[in-house]
């Protein structure tokens, strides 16, 4: 029996990358996982299939984030498959942005709509479905607290806002025994980063050099961290920003 057997988890943006790594790990620990996706149905189905082939349980739900009514749509789809929730992982997000001098209002608004507004209202509407003693994990970024990277300013700003949400929400939901934490990845080998990360051996080694451990992170690295916070062992950790950059901020 896994430590999460009998519990239900929802991971947004779980069709690929970090989200898929988190979904697969929670399922391996026994949770039934709702695999959320925005537009790529095939990747969500692949995640569900991988979980089921490994002996786990999962289902896919679709809701485009960053548009009016996105949270309502997500929970309407979720409610078709489950009658309650134990673990919510707000992972979905837009991972890049144009520099300060180039970004326009449309892109800026879209970043905050997906990375900040959506997690807020998904959580607000989900709080009634979340059982006492539950877990919320928000996927932040090392960029929220590391050296300035102006080319990603707006993106980093959204993650800073998400961290404030984490800190204050921990106080709001604490009386119900619900923990709320942020996990901040560094450079992770996903398809979002593939174009520049795998452009050359030099690019790969340069990225690996950021980490004190001398390598590039994997989705499984982040999934394992989230699994700790979601487990009974994480019961006394809340309102915390967890550095999961492999020591890139040291």
Domain that holds residue 75: 8-192+220-241
Local structure of residue 198 (DSSP, 8 states)? T
Token output for 221 = 């690295």
Residue 30 lies in a domain: yes
- Domain of 146: which CATH number? 3.40.50.720
Neighbours of 179 (CB within 10 A): 22
Which residues belong to the active site? 140-141, 155, 159
Q: Convert the pLDDT of each residue in 179-209 to its tens digit.
A: 999 999 988 888 777 676 778 888 778 878 8
Please state the separation of Cα 5 from the chain's center in Å.
21
pLDDT for res 156: 93
pLDDT for res 159: 96
Partners of 181 in beta bridges: 137
Any residues with CB less than 8 A from the CB of 64 and at least 6 apart, and which? 38, 39, 70, 73
pLDDT for res 195: 74
Q: Do the strands 8-11 and 130-139 form a parallel or antiparallel pair, or are they unpaired?
A: unpaired
Q: Which residues of the chain have pLDDT under 50?
A: none
Residue 117 lies in a domain: yes
Query: How far apart are the C-alpha atoms of 2 and 143, rounded to whole Å?
Result: 33
Residue 107 lies in a domain: yes
| Domains of the chain: total | 1
Query: How far apart are the C-alpha atoms of 28 and 140, rounded to whole Å?
Result: 23
pLDDT for res 202: 83
Residue 207 lies in a domain: no
User: Can you spell out the DSSP letters for 230-244?
Assistant: HSGGGTT--S-EEEE
pLDDT for res 147: 60
Task: Give whole-number Cα distances, 107 to 114, 192, 195, 249, in Å.
Answer: 11, 17, 21, 28
Residue 226 lies in a domain: yes
Query: How far apart are the C-alpha atoms of 137 and 226, rounded to whole Å?
Result: 7
Residue 3 lies in a domain: no
Neighbours of 141 (CB within 10 A): 25
pLDDT for res 249: 78
Residue 247 lies in a domain: no
Q: Let me know: does 84 contact 129? Beta carbons within 8 Å.
A: yes
Residue 15 lies in a domain: yes
Token output for 250 = 């040291």
């Amino acid at each position: 029996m896994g430590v999460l057997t009998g519990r239900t988890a929802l991971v947004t943006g779980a069709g690929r990358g970090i989200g898929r790594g988190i979904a697969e790990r929670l399922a391996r620990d026994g949770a039934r996982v709702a695999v959320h996706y925005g537009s790529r149905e095939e990747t969500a189905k692949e995640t569900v299939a991988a979980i089921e082939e490994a002996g786990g349980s999962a289902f896919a739900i679709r809701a485009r984030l960053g548009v009016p009514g996105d949270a309502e749509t997500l929970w309407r789809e979720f409610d078709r498959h489950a009658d309650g929730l134990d673990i919510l992982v707000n992972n979905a997000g837009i991972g890049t942005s144009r520099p300060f001098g180039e970004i326009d209002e449309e892109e800026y608004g879209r970043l905050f709509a997906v990375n900040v507004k959506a997690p807020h209202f998904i959580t607000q509407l989900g709080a009634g479905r979340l059982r006492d003693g539950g877990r919320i994990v928000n996927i932040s970024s090392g960029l929220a607290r590391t050296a300035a990277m102006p080319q990603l300013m707006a993106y980093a700003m959204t993650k800073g806002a998400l961290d404030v949400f984490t800190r204050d929400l921990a106080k709001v939901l604490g009386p119900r025994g619900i923990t709320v934490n942020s996990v901040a990845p560094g450079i992770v080998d996903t398809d979002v980063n593939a174009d520049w990360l795998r452009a050359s051996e030099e690019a790969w080694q340069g990225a690996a050099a950021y980490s004190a451990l001398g390598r590039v992170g994997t989705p499984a690295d982040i999934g394992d961290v989230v699994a700790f916070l979601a487990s009974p062992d994480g019961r006394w950790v809340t309102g915390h920003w967890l550095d999961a950059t492999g020591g890139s901020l040291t």
